[in-house]
Structures are given as C-alpha cells and as structure tokens.
Chains A and B, each alone.
Chain A
Amino acid sequence: MATLSSGVEVGTDRRQRTLTRWLTRERVAPVIAGLAILAIWQVVVSTQLPSFVARPSGVILAIPETVASEEFWLDVVVTLGSILEGVAIGAAAGILVGVAMGRVRELDWFLSTYIRALYALPLIALVPIVIIWVGYSPASRLAIVIISVFLPVAVTTADGTRAISKDYIDVGRIFGARTHNMWFGIALPSAMPFIVAGIELGFARGITNAIAVEVLASVPGMGMSVFTKSNELNENGSMVYVVCLGVFAVSVRAGMIRFRHWLAPWYRGT
C-alpha cells in the first residue's frame, strides 16, 4: 500500500511538474497577445484617428470619472437588475412550461409550433411590436429579457425531460410515484444540465436584447449610455460601460459553467 501510494505520488508529481511547464507557456502567450492588441489599438488610434476615438489609455483614465458618477451606478442597477429579474421570471416560467411539454406530449404538440417558431425568430425582430404594446418604458426591456430566457429554457427543459431514461420512469412507477413526483422528483433533476444550458443561452441573449431595447426604446440604462456617451464624443467613457457589460457577460458565462459542473458533475457536455 505504502509503495503503491508513494509510486502514485511520484507519478502525479512528475505529471504536475510537466503540466506546470506546459501551462506557463500557454499562459504567457495570451498575456503577450493581449498586450500586443492593446498596444496596436493605442498606436493606430493615436496616430491615425481623431482624438475622441476610444483608446486604452483614454479608457483607463476615464474609469475614475465614470465610476465616481452617480449616473453610472444608477445605470448599472437598473440594467443589471432588470436583466436578473427577467432571467428569474423567464427561467421559472420556462422550466414549468418545459416540464409540462416534456411529460405530456399532447401539450408539446400543441405548443411546439409557437415555441419553436419564436425560438427560430431573431428576438430583436420582436422589439418593435413589444415597444408598441408595452411602451417606451423599462417594462419593454423586462418583457424582452423574459422572452429571451423563457424560450431557450422551455425548449431545453422539454428536450431534457422528454429524453429521460425509461428505467427511471419504471423505478418511479414501482415505488408508486405520483405525477408530481415524476415531474419534479425525477424528470426535473435529470434534465438539470439541459436546463442550465438553456438558462446560460437565455442569459446571454437577455443581456444583448436588454441593450437593444434600451437603445431602440430610449430606456435609460447601460446600453443607452454607451450610445449617448458616444454621441457626445465621450468614447472613452462609453468604452468603460462596454467593458463593464463585457465583464458581467463573461462572469455570468463562467459562473453558469461552474454552476452546471457543481449541479451535474456527471454531465459531460460542452
């Protein structure tokens, strides 16, 4: 046992050492590439383009001013708050409808025409009609985020709950599971990876579409500020907002992937 464990230890140790050697090379490369991108951006803009165009040094200098302003935090709160609210509502509704569609195939046949047609439709095409119905107001943004999340979640939940193994159903039957046990005790947990993938997709679309509504319906928020600041020739300030949106989007993505690994470690999807 001792020799075995020490043997294993030596093996992993060596592997780890080669791993770190391999990693440093692969880790240094992106840093160099990133610095090179920033340097080229800086040089090209400052030598070729007018002074108001965003450049790395300008963006860094614009950070304190932007972050100190009350307006910035107001924008962050309304936009991100609205996105989170929409994701929560859309995901809850999507899971309910999706489980029902996955378990009752008549319901699936009844709803799938619309769900799939809407899912195929670029949701940005729905923004004009939503503006007409809901108005030039933050409610339009919320409505679009809800739809953006609801559709992928409903589709993936339906796919996930439909695809559960016959064995699970049989075991459930043998143990006398009732319908709600089947839906929420068996189908829903086994569809979790699908559901999280749906929320991930919906979240990304929700962020994009929330910005789209803000710009098209003149709803105050981060997306709106990106465009107004740019129109005021304050591109560096505008870029600070873009960077914040990017950080939010990237961390949402990374967070969802971690969440899925934690929730369903057996699932080996993307």
Chain B
Amino acid sequence: MTGGSGQARMATRESFASRVNRFRAVNAWWIRIACYVSSIVLLLAAWQAFGNSFGVLFVPFTVTMKRLWAMLVEGELPAALWVSGQLYLVTLVFNIVVGVTVGLLLARNKLVSAAFEPYVYILYATPTISLVPFVSVMFGFAFWPRVLVSVLISIFPILLGTLEGARSIPRQHLDVAAIFGSNERQLWRDVIIPYVTPYAMTGIKQSVALSMVGTLVAEFFLNPDGVAAVMLEGTTVVDSAKVLAITVFVAAIAVVLVGVGELIEWFLVRWRHSAVG
C-alpha cells in the first residue's frame, strides 16, 4: 500500500481481498490441514526451543517424551493406571446404573421428585471437593470411599438427563398406553424405556468423560493414589519432566474418552435415524 492514486489503491485492495477470499474458499481443505499441522508443529517447536530457558521448571518436548517412555517401560505408569482404571470403571458403572435408575424413579413419582429435586440440584451445585473431609472421617480412605467421592462428582449429568428425558414423555404416549390397557411392566417396556434411551445415552456419553474427573479428584484428595499420586510426587520435588509427561498422557486419555463418547453419540444418531426412517 505504498504508491498509486487513492482510487487505484482502493481497486487493488478490493480485488486483493476478494482474491484472498476466493483462495480461502477454493483451498479450504488444504488450508485446514495446514492449520492443524502448523499449529502442532509450532507448539512443539516453541516447547523445544524454550524448554531449556526456565531451568528445572520447564523441560523440552523431547525430554518430556523420553521421560514418559521411561515411566511406561519401567512400570511406574502402568501400575498407577491399573489403580486409577479400576476406580474409573467402577465409577462409570455406578454412574450409569444408579444415575439412570434414580433418574427414572424420580421422574415416575411427581411428589418424590418435587421433594428431592431441590436437594439434588443443591448437591450438584455445591463444590463436591469440600465434602471430601466428611467422607474421609466417616468412611476412611480406602477404595469404596473413593468411589463415593468419584460418583458424587460425576453422577449428576446422567441422573438429571434421564430425569429430564423421562419427564418429557408426551402425555399422549402415556394415554395411548393406558387406553390399550398397558400394565406397569408393559408401559415401561413399550413407552418409557424406548423414549428415555436417547437421553440416557447422552448422559452415558457425558459420564464417560466425567468419570475421569471424579476418579482424579478422588485420587488427589483421599490419600493420593494412582495417577494423581505420581503427579503429586513429581510436584513436591519439582520434577517438571514427570509432571509434564503425565499431564500430556492424561490429556491424551481424556481426548480418547471424549472421542469414545462422541462415537456413542454417532451410533445413537444413526440408530435414531434408522428407527425413524
């Protein structure tokens, strides 16, 4: 934009802008790939370049990866994962079974749900971490208290989702079932369960990711164990390679779990389409 008359400059700028836009539209696919690749390459390059400038606080990417590999091979991380994995799976099963059951029961009885719903919401809103000392005083630090904390943190979305779903069953569906003389068992089999399944599945999708949050919180705050314990060990001795390595690893697991959740949803959407169409 250095020379030329005002009008000419205007003209070139306009055509330049529209050319840029055309270029963006035509090459969208390649630009997209370039953006993804360059963002990752840039981050790793910056990590590698600045890795040595903060002393022990920050280590380069390669050092972090070597450390991660060493922890995986030496068995420190697999052992921790085994401990955390058990807690995760038990939490997930509890969330699904208890969350869906309680959600359905609350939805089927108006008075019971009116009575207890405010407290469910209050418990949901209250930062569960602050309840940890009470759980540990009453039940100790072993596996089941951990499950309790973990479930308390992660059960509410699936419970409330199921409740919401069961409550939104159209009146007509229930009326039709009543007119055709359905008993309670048939009502559940033919109306309630098919209707609520998508809502419960959405809850399960959320639960797959959320149970991990619960697992980590329970491990951090009830006498550290599993992955959280390894991280805290690294923090107390300012071993940033160890902490960074596990943080990256946990992030990778989280991304995979969210992906699993999205896969569940994808199947669900396909199933819904095939059921409708």
Contact = CB atoms under 8 A, between A and B. Distances in A.
Chain A at the B interface: SS class: helix
Contact of A29 (B111, B132, B213): B111
Contacts of B57: 132-133
Nearest to B28: A105
Contacts, number: 152
Given A26-B114, A125-B247, A132-B243, A113 B39 contact: yes
B229 to A, nearest CB: 11
Interface residues of A, number: 56
Nearest to B43: A114
A215 B220 CA distance: 10
Instruction: Choose among A52, A106, A125, A239 the residue with the greatest number of B CB atoms under 10 Å from its CB.
Output: A125
A118 B251 contact: yes
B145 interface: no
Interface string B7-39: 000000000000000001000000110011011
Contacts of A121: 250-251, 254-255
Contacts of B250: 121-122, 125
Given A37-B119, A124-B220, A132-B243, A25 B111 contact: yes
Given A34-B119, A122-B250, A132-B238, A114 B39 contact: yes
A33 B119 contact: yes
A207 interface: yes
A37 B120 CA distance: 12
B116 to A, nearest CB: 6
Given A29-B111, A249-B127, A235 B133 contact: yes
9 A-B pairs closest in CB distance: A230-B133, A109-B35, A33-B115, A29-B115, A246-B126, A122-B213, A26-B114, A128-B235, A120-B258
23 contacts: A25-B114, A26-B114, A29-B115, A106-B35, A109-B32, A111-B39, A117-B251, A124-B213, A124-B216, A125-B216, A125-B250, A129-B243, A132-B235, A208-B127, A211-B127, A211-B130, A215-B221, A226-B130, A226-B133, A242-B131, A245-B130, A246-B122, A249-B125
